[in-house]
């Protein structure tokens, strides 16, 4: 995406001590692929920021996010006056914030602990006001262009013949429905069964939690959309989402994985989730889908939604599996296996689930 210049000369400042200044700043997870040695100047005005732009900012008020996750996963405390290196990005999180990239370099918000700068539009009632940040300026390279996460993204060309024999995708009814726990459990169980497992989070907001969970569970390779150059996937069109997903899948193919497990963030009604699931069906990326739901009603609706769109739904998982009664209700209405952590981490049970032919399902009456 090209930057729009505003009707004034861009204010670009070369700083002889910039490397030292950047080394002292608190650098966020979203910037983990960035080579800060490429930054030679600070662009203070005259340009409209876009998603992925690198920004040096100062914390002006502590709100919901009191900590920032660094490139190694450590969450460090924030203090007023701290300088941080984050990336602009949109955010969609029904349990937290909706936020958009501003059209100026004025004060905005830290809307994700993984390092996403945006201007909040709405918030969940349980959330505090977001932490406020004052952009000092965008980071620029020697040519004067703004550094963007996409400049440092990995690129892998998709091939007609994939190497991973089996790919499974996990989608859910909403944020916090248990998708990440389901993915981690699948990775653990299949790894214990002797498979080389690759894992990827295809959409969401930049944060290392899900990535570290995949790695801790035994994934031989783990990636997410930040590896493809995005602080967040909210607001991407279908073509961009498809590029992200095909890039990550091709990268896992190159790592010679036997099984690939992918997560798509948020719920089925979220625009990017629905679009990517539709694209995945058209492209034939996945051999089966496991749906994570918070309750039996969510499981019933989700199953219908997916069956109507001819997805190969093989099981229900998620938060509802903590309740035997909710699990019983979901099993009764969907006719699907209800699988929780115990089943998914069992190497025999999970291998049977993943490698068995999925049942032929009909819409719930």
Residues 244-272: pLDDT tens digits? 999 999 999 999 899 999 999 999 999 99
**pLDDT for 181 beyond 70:** yes
Query: Which residues, at least 6 apart from 359, have a Cβ–Cβ distance to it below 8 Å?
Result: 314, 335, 336
The radius of gyration computed from the CA coordinates of the chain, to the nearest angstrom, equals: 21
**pLDDT for 359 beyond 60:** no
The whole-number average pLDDT for the span 211-230 is: 97
d(CA 53, CA 146): 7
Q: Kind of pairing, strands 116-123 and 97-100?
A: antiparallel
User: Is residue 242 helix, strand or coil?
Assistant: helix
For position 365, what pLDDT does the model report? 40
**Is the separation of the CB atoms in 50 and 235 below 8 Å?**
no
| DSSP conformational letter for 100 | E
User: Is residue 119 helix, strand or coil?
Assistant: strand
| DSSP conformational letter for 28 | B
The whole-number average pLDDT for the span 280-303 is: 95
Closest listed residue to residue 336, CA positions, set 359, 363, 309: 359
**Is the separation of the CB atoms in 352 and 306 below 8 Å?**
no
The whole-number average pLDDT for the span 123-133 is: 97
As a whole number, the mean pLDDT across the chain is: 92
pTM (two decimals): 0.90
Please give the structure tokens belonging to residue 18: 């910039």
For position 164, what pLDDT does the model report? 73
């Amino acid at each position: 995406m090209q930057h729009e210049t505003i009707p004034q000369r861009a204010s670009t400042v070369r700083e002889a001590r910039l490397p030292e200044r950047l080394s002292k700043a608190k650098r966020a997870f979203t910037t983990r692929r960035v080579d800060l040695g490429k930054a030679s100047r600070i662009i203070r005005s005259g340009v409209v920021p876009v998603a992925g732009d690198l920004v040096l900012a100062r914390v002006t008020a502590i709100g919901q996010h009191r900590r920032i996750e660094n490139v190694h996963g450590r969450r460090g405390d924030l203090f007023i006056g701290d300088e941080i290196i984050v990336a602009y990005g949109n955010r969609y999180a029904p349990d937290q914030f909706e936020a958009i990239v501003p059209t100026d370099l004025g004060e905005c918000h830290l809307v994700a602990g993984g390092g996403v700068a945006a201007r909040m539009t709405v918030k969940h009632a349980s959330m505090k006001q977001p932490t406020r940040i004052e952009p000092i300026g965008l980071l620029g390279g020697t040519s004067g262009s703004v550094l963007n996460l996409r400049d440092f993204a990995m690129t892998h060309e998709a091939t007609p013949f994939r190497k991973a024999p089996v790919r499974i995708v996990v989608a859910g009814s909403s944020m916090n429905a248990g998708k990440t726990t389901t993915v981690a459990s699948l990775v653990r169980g299949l790894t214990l069964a002797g498979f080389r497992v690759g894992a990827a989070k295809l959409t969401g907001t930049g944060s290392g939690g899900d990535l570290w969970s995949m790695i801790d569970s035994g994934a031989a390779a783990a990636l997410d959309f930040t590896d493809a150059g995005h602080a967040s996937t909210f607001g991407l069109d279908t073509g961009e989402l498809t590029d992200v997903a095909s890039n990550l899948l091709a990268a896992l193919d190159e790592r010679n994985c036997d099984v690939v497990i992918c997560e798509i963030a948020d719920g089925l009604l979220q625009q990017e989730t629905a679009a990517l699931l539709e694209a995945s069906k058209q492209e034939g990326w996945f051999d089966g889908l496991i749906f994570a739901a918070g309750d039996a009603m969510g499981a019933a609706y989700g199953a219908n939604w997916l069956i109507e769109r001819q997805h190969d739904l093989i099981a229900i998982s998620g938060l509802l599996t903590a309740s035997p009664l909710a699990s019983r209700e979901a099993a009764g209405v969907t006719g699907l296996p209800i699988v929780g952590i115990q089943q998914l981490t069992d190497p025999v049970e999970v291998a049977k689930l993943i490698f068995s032919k999925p049942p032929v399902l009909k819409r719930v009456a």
